[in-house]
Amino acid sequence: MTRSYGLFLAFILQPLSFPRLALALDVRYNMTGQKEENLKFMPNLASAKKRLRQNAAKQLRNQVAKTRIKTEIKKALTGDENIAVSVIDRAAAKGIIHKNKAARQKSRLAKRLASATVAE
């Protein structure tokens, strides 16, 4: 094991101090329910290691934003729809979701809210 591989492995096995790097782990559970963590891959080049960190950070950021969109849509069905529309627009502006998907989500949300008000 080379020195750089050992240092990188040490960084990657500390998910609490480096949460973005924890995404490079393949987490599986064995028959007894214990967690087994294995590296999916190990890049050799420094630029590939950096790209791994960047991709993990972007994946985490996108996941949080998409989850927030879903949560706000559910909240909008019971309360204020302006927050949900704002969150969808912000995600589209940042490139997390496509602008057409944002328009489709807003349209469907408006349609559901309109049908909910007619049913009452």
- Provide the number of structural domains found in the chain: 2
Statement to judge: residues 15 and 50 lie in one domain: no
CA 19 to chain centre: 13
- If asked whether residues 30 and 48 sit together in one domain, one would say no
Same domain, 77 and 38: no
Asked if residue 26 and residue 53 are part of one domain, the reply reads no
57 and 96 co-located in one domain: yes
Residues 94 and 114 in one domain: yes
For residue 18, the enclosing domain spans: 1-42
As a whole number of Å, the CA-based R_g of the chain is 20
pLDDT of amino acid 37: 57
Reading the chain (120 residues) residue by residue, the pLDDT tens digits are: 444 444 444 444 444 444 444 555 555 666 666 655 555 667 788 898 888 888 888 988 999 999 999 999 999 988 888 899 999 999 999 999 999 999 999 999 999 999 887 776
33 and 49 housed in the same domain: no
As a whole number of angstroms, the distance between CA 9 and CA 13 comes to: 6
